[in-house]
Amino acid sequence: MADLIPFLPGFFAAFSILMVAASSPGPAVAMLLGISMSRGRGAALVTCLGIAFGSTTINLATMLGVGLLLSEAAWAMQILRILGAAYLAWLAYGAFRKAANPPALTTGPVPARSVLRLLLAGYLLQVTNPKAIVFWLAIAALGATEGGGTLVYAAFFAGAWLISFTCHAAWALLLSAAPIRAAYARARRSVEATLGVLFAFFAFKLATSRS
């Protein structure tokens, strides 16, 4: 553990950026809003796992240089933007469809097949988000793990995963609270339509972004 002490200031700076990124409302929070209120806390937390693994994937890719390559290769970033925008547009379509024909609310244990789908949904949302790559490039620029060994990298990955999961899980717990779910039950069409608008807006912004 003593080997980690010199890296703690860098960890603190990197994790501070990550906490801001993970806590800020955006496509992931919009997704959690819909899942939390329509399917309950368990489903939302499973989705948070997928988001956290997606964040860790970007973390690893950035450290390996893939993130830097994407940031420098305009065509690669453009492809990623198109994929991310298409996925958000698909989420918007799903939300509008639920607004037109609200499905039955479900609670309780999440079936194994649904677990995989929720994990994949959260994962895909995160890894196709260029903004997440930008945040990780900023974190990588700090050099928080530079010169460290296996223990330093393992601790950094574990801490980053935990922060991503915890921040998104906090949203999931808040949005799946009984009063909020009750409010959702009374205004399901409006909520789903709003989510559709949000996802469509995020898709448009991502597709037309030049940064």
Asked if residue 40 lies in contact with residue 114, where contact means CB atoms within 8 angstroms, the answer is no
Q: The whole model's pTM is what?
A: 0.76
**Three-class SS of residue 2?**
helix
- Helix or strand (DSSP H, E) at 110: none
- Is residue 144 within 8 A of residue 14, CB to CB? The reply is yes
What's the pLDDT at 119? Answer: 94
Instruction: Please tell me the number of Cα atoms within 13 Å of 196 on its side-chain side.
Output: 14
Type and span of the H or E element at 192 = helix 188-208
Q: Are 32 and 176 in contact (CB under 8 A)?
A: no
Check residue 72 and give its pLDDT: 65
**Domain spans, the chain:** 2-208
Question: Which tokens is 144 given?
Answer: 């928080």
CB 96 within 8 A of CB 193: yes
Written as tens digits, the pLDDT of the chain (211 aa) is 667 788 888 888 888 888 888 887 788 888 898 888 878 889 999 999 999 999 999 888 887 766 556 666 667 667 777 877 887 788 888 888 878 887 666 655 566 558 899 999 999 999 887 777 777 877 777 777 777 788 888 899 999 999 999 999 999 998 888 887 777 777 778 878 888 888 888 788 777 766 5
In one-letter notation, the amino acid at residue 118 is L
